[in-house]
Amino acid sequence: MAQINTTNTARQIRITLQTKQSLDPVRGLRGTQCYLTRLTLTQAVFSSAALAILAVSSVSPSYAGPDARVLAAAKTCEPKARALLQQLVQIDSGTGDVTGLAAMGAILKTELEHLGANVESVPAVAPAVGDNIVATLTGAGKGHILLIAHMDTVFPHGTVAQRPYTVVGNRGIGPGAGDDKAGIVSAVCALRVLRDVNYHDYAQITLILNSNEETGSVGTRDLIRAKAKESEAAINLERGVPPDSLEVTRKGSAVITVEIMGRAAHAGLEPEKGRNAIVEASHQAQQLGSLANPPMETTVNVTMIQGGNAINVIPDHALIKADVRAFTPEEFDRVEADLQKLAGDTTIPDVQVKASMVRNFPPWPRAASTEALLARAQKLYAEVGGKLAGVPVGSSADVAFAAETGTPSIDGIAILGGGAHGVEDYADLSSIVPRVYLLTRMLMDLGHNPPVKPTGR
């Protein structure tokens, strides 16, 4: 393993790497394996002031190389992080699963209280259910920082029994592993590192664990907005994007509902008297795809269709749901207007079609304040040799509610992952140490030197 020695006379940080014969394969930041043999790396010369800070008990908010104590604490936390991830993934906590969400909340309340946080349960606003968890740590510095993650998943109760948590290579796979239980683990581990290195140079760190994100955070969005207004920066802990990126802009989301009313009749005796709502629904579903706008990256996807209640009856009712994603409010306006035109284009006579669209998450546009946070993250990640990119993504998230208050916001500073909402939902276990290091250093940096929020918000 690496040995880090510092000397004031040489004014250098020297990292001596042991030979291959005495060293197991080293896991790189991106999960690749390599053997390091008799190499010596000499970092750029530090100022004497920076070296003096290394000698005192408080942790410096800025380093040209790795903060040795933070890196060591992140490595120490890795086994705990792996165990906590498995424990959380083994709980069914789909949106609306009050029992599962309560079990998650009980575990995390204990974890966070052990770290010195004041923890409270905040009921979700109806119609959402399940308690949100709000944990607060108070320090002695300037910055107020909001962390956000979510406990709920898209998977129904019983999924864990069908697909229990498994580890394959560097992947921890299971329902909600990457989306977003790895984000929760990232937060807990980073807060543990701060405690272990005795860092308190922040005014307040608030962590919201949302119970209903997957259905639009109806029960938590006002809580997020309120806590964001009290903060100088917000970090949403959705998965980091492989190979090593974070999110800097997201689409907003909306739900289209199309209801078709037809006429029931005996399917064998006199089907001609019926007006088949399912046949009309198939036509409407095909039309909905035309609302997409590829040049603007606007997507419209039919995700649910229901109709009929008996095999021998011409169905008189059908329902369609479609998912809409767009980067701009104007695109949502266009989709909503064109939706009504499509609803008037029917193929079955005498049917009635009602169409509506409800907006959930607003778009999160790229902003100068996000770029500034990205630049901080890139500088801090470089301490451990990491290179970060900021990428746009097509999914929506709670960061949009924080950002719309004017609070500088960023997303994806968490363990890497992928396969969201599918059978391959995973967390990249090899990214635990570097990503926890990054999140911890961001908390230190923002606590010591918080950004200035725009006035009038």
The total of other beta-carbon atoms located within 10 Å of residue 304's CB is 12
What 3-state DSSP class applies to 180? Answer: helix
CA dihedral 101, 105, 107, 110 (to 10 degrees): -170
Say how far apart CA 419 and CA 195 lie, in whole Å: 32
The b-or-e profile of 397-415 (16+ CB within 10 A means b, else e) is bbbbbbbbbbbbbbbbbbb
Angle at 436 (CA atoms; ends 117, 136), nearest 5 degrees:
15
CA neighbor of 382 nearest in space, from 442, 428, 446: 442
Phi and psi at 29, nearest 5°, equal: -65, -25
The b-or-e profile of 77-101 (16+ CB within 10 A means b, else e) is beeebbebbbbbbebbbbbbbeebb
Kind and range of the H or E run holding 304: strand 299-307
Phi and psi at 169, nearest 5°, equal: 65, -125
| CB-CB contact of 63 with 70 (8 Å) | no
| CB-CB contact of 415 with 177 (8 Å) | no
Bridge-partner residues for 13, per DSSP? 6
- 13-37 pLDDT, tens digit per residue, is 333 323 333 333 333 333 333 333 3
Q: Tell me the pLDDT of the chain averaged across its residues.
A: 88
List Cβ neighbours of 26 (8 Å cut-off, separation of 6 or more).
Answer: 33, 34, 35, 36
pLDDT at 429: 98
What is the C-alpha radius of gyration for the chain, rounded to an integer number of angstroms?
A: 25
| CB-CB contact of 88 with 103 (8 Å) | no
User: What's the distance, CA 140 to chain centroid?
Assistant: 28
User: How do beta strands 409-411 and 233-236 pair?
Assistant: parallel
**Residue ranges for the chain with pLDDT beneath 50:** 1-60
pLDDT at 54: 34
Phi and psi at 46, nearest 5°, equal: -85, 160
Catalytic residues: 152, 213
pLDDT at 71: 98
pLDDT at 454: 77
- Residue position matching structure tokens 């104007």: 330
- 38-55 pLDDT, tens digit per residue, is 233 223 322 333 333 333
Say how far apart CA 95 and CA 128 lie, in whole Å: 8
pLDDT at 456: 54
| CB-CB contact of 447 with 205 (8 Å) | yes
The DSSP output letter for 177 is I
pLDDT at 65: 86
Say how far apart CA 431 and CA 213 lie, in whole Å: 24
The total of other beta-carbon atoms located within 10 Å of residue 381's CB is 22
pLDDT at 169: 98
pTM score of the predicted model? 0.84
Say how far apart CA 332 and CA 292 lie, in whole Å: 10
| CB-CB contact of 437 with 71 (8 Å) | yes
The DSSP output letter for 450 is P
The DSSP output letter for 94 is B
